[in-house]
Structure 1
Amino acid sequence: MDALQEHATELAPRLSSQAKVVGKEGTVKRYDESTAPDPTFTVFPHTEEDVVETVRYCREKDLKCFAQSGGHNWRVKNHNSIDVVICMRGLNHVSIDESEQTVTFGGGIIVKELIDAVTEKKFEVTTGLCNTVGVVGAVLYGGMGRYVGKYGLGIDNLVYVNLVDSYGNIHRNVNGNTHPDLWWAIRGAGASFGIVTKATMKIYPQSKNGLSWTCTLIFTNPSRETIEKAFRAIDATHFGETMCILFSFAFIPPMGYPSLVVALWFYGPASQAERAWELVLDPSLQPNFKQAAILPADRLNDGNDAGCVTGFRRPGAAMGIERLDIAAFYEIWDLWLEFGQNEGTETSVVLVERFSKKKSLEVSDEETAFSHLHRGIVYEVSIAPGYRDKRLDGKAQDFTNRARDILIEKCSDPGKIRSYPAGAGFHEPIESIFGGEERVQKLLAIKQKWDPENYWGALFDLL
C-alpha cells in the first residue's frame, strides 16, 4: 500500500460521505504556480467537521497542511514542505439575513458566488475585483474593492468567523468580544492563525438599483507623452467614495500590442460619472479604444476575468505607493517590455489601483493588524510577470525586484515600504507588511499563544 492509499484509507472514514481524498491528479492550480505546493494528496472537505478531522489527522501523522479556496495568494512561503492541500471550495454555502443585513458564507466561497447571492436579494457587499478569488483570503488580508469608499475594507465589515486552529480545534463565533487578541490578528494576518471555515459580513441595501457606470480606455503602443498625460489626469482627479480606477501595462490580444489600459468605475449615472472622470476622459488623450457601459452589480468584475486565470507562474509583488512618479513608471514600462520579449510572457502585467480611503481611515489603527500603513495608501501596485516555463523564474524575479526597488525609491516616502500582505515577497521585512516593530511584537505574542509551533507558516514567518 503506497502513502496515498494508506492516508486515504485512514482519513476517509473520518470525513463526511461527500468529502474526497485524491492524489496528484487532484492538485488544484494556483494563481502563482511558481510557489504552489506539490502535495502527497488533496482533501476536498464538504463540512466544517471535515476540515477539523483533516487538520487533526495531519497533526497525528506529522503532515503539514495548507488550505486554499481561490488560490490567489501569491507566495506560499513553505510550499516545499506542504504535504496536504485542503481545497475549501466545497464549503461555499451562502445564507442572507435580510433583517440583520448580514451574509454568512463558507470558507471556500469565491467572489462571484458571494456577489450573485447578495445581488439576488438587492444587497451589496465589499469584495475584491476578481470573480475567482476566494473571499475569505482576500478579506482577511485587507479586502479592497469597488465599495471600499462607501463601506470600508472587507475586514472592517466582518462580524465573526469560525476558525480551526493548529491543533484541529474549532472556535466558533470568533469576534472582538469572545477572542479579542485573535480577532485583532486575523484581520490583517489571516491564515497565519488558522483556517476560517465560516464567516459573517455586513451587507448593504443596493442604491441606484445596483447599476454602475464603467468605461475602458486602451492606449495601444502609447508614447511617453501619452503615458504622462494619462497619469497626470488620473493623479489630478478627486476620488470620491463612489469611484475607483484600475490601470495597467498589458499586452492586448490578439496581436499582443503593449498598451496602457485604464478602467474607470463610478457608482451612478453616466452624466455624473463623466463629470467625475472628466480629466481622464479628456478627448485630447486620444485613446485607441473607448467603451462605456452601465452594468449591474453581478457583472462588474467580468472584465477582469482574463487577468485572474490560475496555472501561470507569477513570482510578483504587491505594494503601496504615495505618488505616480512619471520617470519611475517609464523605467518600469521599459522593464516590463524587456521581460515581455521572452516567449510565453504575454500575460505579464503591471497593475495600479486607486480607491477612496476616507472610510477605511475612520477605523483606528489599533483595531486590526491591517495598519494605517496600508489603509491610507494612495495607490496599490502589483508587479505580475506571467508565464509557464519555469526556466524564466530568474528573469521574472529580477523584473519584480527591479520594479519594486524603483517604486520604493521614487514613489514612496523615505523609510516607508508598504508591502501588501497577500502579495509580499519571501524576503520582505515583516515590519513593512504590518506597520512597525510594536505591531509585529503584538502579532508575535498572539502567534505564540495560538500557534506556538508556527504550523500555519505558509504565508508569513511570525516566529
Structure 2
Amino acid sequence: MAASPSDSTIRAQLEGAGVPYSIPESADFNQLLSNYSGNHQNRKPGIITVPETYQHVEAIVAACVAAKAEIVVRGGGHDIFGRSTVADAVTVDLRKLNSVTVSENHETAHVGGGATAEQVLEALASKGLQVPVGSCGTVGYAGWCLVGGLGPYIHSYGLGADQIVGAKVVNAEGKLVVADDKMLKGLRGGGANLGVVVELTVKAYPLQDVQAGMLMFDSTDLSKAVTTFLTNYEKLFGEGKNVPSQIYPMPFIFAVPGLGITLCCCVIWNGTATDESRAWVDDVGKLAPLMPGTPEPQTAITTMKALDFSRQLTAMLPPQMLGGRPQSASLTRLTPSAIAGLANVAANMPKSSTGGINMHVVREDCPSCSDNVPDSVCPYREAHIMIELLGVGPDEEIGKEAAEWSMAARNELMGLEEATKKTYIAVTSPECLDVESVYGEKLAELKKLKKEYDPHGFFKNALPRLVD
C-alpha cells in the first residue's frame, strides 16, 4: 500500500537527511507551490521538497521508493499546463540546484537541473561563453533540452537535445549515476523519464554579439497582414532557399496595449552586424507593410547579447499565464491553404485575449535535421512549423473564451493537409498529446529504455507521460 506524503516515516527520513521541505500547513507552501500556470490548489502535493545537494535528491527518491509514494519533479516550473503539480505527491523542487560551471577547456558547461535559461546565460557570459536557449528566460534549461529544445539559435547550433553530452541522474533506486551512452540517448528528447536529472553537461560556444529586436506590421486588416507576411515569408525562407544559419525570424501575433491584436516578428541574427545581416533584416521588414510610426528595421534591430535578448522577450510575457488553455499545432510547410488557415485563426482571436500565436520554424538547414547528430530519441529532426496557440486571458470569463478559441484554432490547423501529428511535447495540452504520433518508431525504443531504467514506472509523472 502506498504511503501518503505526509506519512511520518517519509518526513522523518527527510529530516534525518537534512532535506528542506514544506507541507500545506507551512508558511511558505503556497509560494513554493505557485508556478507559471498558477497555484493549482485543487491538486496540491502533500510535501514540497527543496533539495540543495544531489545527496538530498537521493534521500528524497529513496524515501519515496521505500514508501511507494508518488513523486513529481519541478525544474523551472514553467510548464503551461502545470504538469509539475500532482495531487498528494512529493514534489522535488530543483530550483536551488542551479549552479553553472565550465569545463577546463571551455567547450562544455555543467548546468544544475533547476537552473533557468537566463541563469545559464548570465553565468556563462562572465566566462565568455553562451549556449542556445529558447525564447523565454524563465524556462528551466534542463527541461527545455530534455524535451527537444526549440529556440532562436537552433540553426546555428541545433536543438537543445543535441547539446547534451553528459548527465548526472538520480535513478529509480535513489542512487546518483553518471548517464551512460544508452541513457543519454533516452534523455535527448525523451524528457526526464529515466530519473531525476540533477545536472546536464552541454556544449558551450564563444560569446558573441547578436542582432535582435522586434518589427511591427500594419494590422489594420489582420487577416490580410498575416496572409501577405506569411506568403512572402515562405518565398524568402521556404524549402530549398539558401538562408544563413545565423538568422531566425520568429513571427507572432498578440495583443499590444493600445494597438489591439498585432502581427509582429522578432528577428535574431546570431553574430556581429555585417552587410549581409543588415540586408536580411531589411528583407524581413519588407515581408508586409510596417506599422506606421514604428521603427524601421535598422533601428529596431540592435546589437546586444543573447542574455539581453532573452530578458527582452521574457519581459513581453506575463509573469504567470492564468485563465484559459493553450494549445498547439504543427505544420510541414506554409502552403497557401496553411497560410489561409493561420490568417483565419488569427482573425478569430478574442480581442480581449492576453495570449496570441507564436510560430517556431525549423528549417531544413538546422544542424539537427542532418545525419551528423548524437544518438537520441528526439522526434524533431525534420523541417516543420510549430505553432503555439496561447488561448489565455486576464480572468476566468475571458480565459474561457480564449480557451474555446485556442481549441477551435488547434482543430482547424490540425485538420489541414499540411498538419503533422508530431506536435511539440512542451506546449501540447495533455488531452491532445499523442506520444505515438510524436515519437513514431522511436517510441518503442524510448519505452524500452524506460522499462530498463525505471522498471516500476516510479517516474511516471515525467513529461512526456509514458505509463499510467
Do the structures match in fold with TM over 0.5? yes
Secondary structure of the structure 2 residue equivalent to 1:191: coil
Contact 2:156-2:246 at 8 Å conserved across structures: yes
- 1:147 corresponding residue in structure 2: 153
What is residue 186 of structure 1 aligned with on the other side?
187
Distance in 2, matches of 1:399 and 1:34, equals 24
Structure 2 residue aligned with 1:445: 448
> Residue in 1 aligned with 2:377?
369
Superposed displacement of residue 107, structure 1: 0.7
TM-superposition CA deviations, 1:331-360 (whole Å, max 9, x none) = 2113322xx44xxxx421111122544211
Q: 1:350 aligns with which of 352, 357, 364?
A: 357
Question: CA offset at residue 81 of structure 1?
Answer: 3.9
Cα drift, residue 282 of structure 1: 2.0
Q: 1:103 to 1:40 in 2, by over 3 A?
A: same
Q: Distance in 2 between matches of 1:314 and 1:106?
A: 32
CA offset at residue 323 of structure 1?
2.4
Aligned-pair Cα RMSD in Å: 2.8
The answer as to 2:264 corresponding to 1:264 is no
For the structure 1 residues 3 and 431, does the alpha-carbon distance in structure 2 shift closer, same or farther, using more than 3 Å as the test?
Answer: closer
- Which residue matches 2:240? none
Q: Distance in 2 between matches of 1:77 and 1:203?
A: 29
Question: Partner residue of 2:210?
Answer: 212
Q: Report the 3-state secondary structure (helix = DSSP H, G, I; strand = E; otherwise coil) of the residue aligned with 2:105.
A: coil
Where does residue 228 of structure 2 map in the other structure?
A: 229
Q: Given the superposition, is the C-alpha separation of residues 265 and 284 from structure 1 closer, same or farther in structure 2, using an over 3 Å criterion?
A: same
Total equivalences in the alignment: 440
For residues 407 and 450 of structure 1, do their structure 2 counterparts lie closer, same or farther at Cα, with a shift above 3 Å needed?
A: same
- Alpha-carbon distance in 2 for matches of 1:362, 1:65: 37
Quick check: 1:13 aligned with 2:15? yes
> SS state of the match for residue 349, structure 2?
helix
Q: Per-residue CA shift, 1:125-161, capped at 9, x if unaligned?
A: 1222211110000000111223211221122121110
1:112-131 correspondence to structure 2 within 5 Å: 112-131=118-137
CA contact (8 A) 2:72 2:84 kept: no
Query: Which of 50, 61, 64 is residue 55 of structure 1 equivalent to?
Result: 61
Per the alignment, residue 334 of structure 1 pairs with 347
Q: Which moved more, 1:117-126 or 1:452-461?
A: 452-461
Q: Which runs of 5+ in 2 are unaligned?
A: 238-242
Residue 54 of structure 1 deviates from its aligned partner by 1.1
**Matched ranges for 1:408-419 at <5 A:** 408-410=414-416, 412-413=418-419, 416-419=420-423
SS in structure 2 opposite 1:237?
helix
Identical columns (%): 19
Distance of 2:117 and 2:169 partners within structure 1: 20
Contact preservation (8 Å) 1:213, 1:270: no
Q: 1:170 to 1:284 in 2, by over 3 A?
A: closer
Structure 2 CA distance for partners of 1:275 and 1:446, relative to 1, 3 Å? same
2:244 to 218, 236, 240: 240
Cα 1:365/1:283, change in 2 over 3 Å: closer
Q: Secondary structure at the match of 1:264?
A: strand
Q: CA deviation at 1:396?
A: 4.5
The alignment partner of 2:429 has SS state of coil
What is the Cα deviation at residue 326 of structure 1?
2.3
Q: Distance in 2 between matches of 1:21 and 1:79?
A: 14
Please say if residues 16 and 47 of structure 1, whose CA atoms lie closer than 8 Å, have aligned partners that are also in contact. no
1:128 and 1:143 in contact (8 A); partners too: yes
- Give secondary structure in 1 for the equivalent of 2:44: coil
Per-residue CA distance 1:428-461 (angstroms, 9 max, x = gap): 2212221x2x322222222222223322222333
Map of 1:430 onto structure 2: 435
Are the structure 2 counterparts of residues 249 and 100 from structure 1 closer, same or farther at C-alpha, using a change threshold of 3 Å? Answer: closer
Unaligned runs of 5+ in 1: none
Residue 173 of structure 2 is matched in structure 1 by: 167
Residues 322, 378 of structure 1: 8 Å contact kept: yes
Give the TM-score of the pair, scaled to structure 2.
0.85
- The reply to whether residue 304 of structure 1 matches residue 304 of structure 2 is no
Paired residue secondary structure (1:352): strand
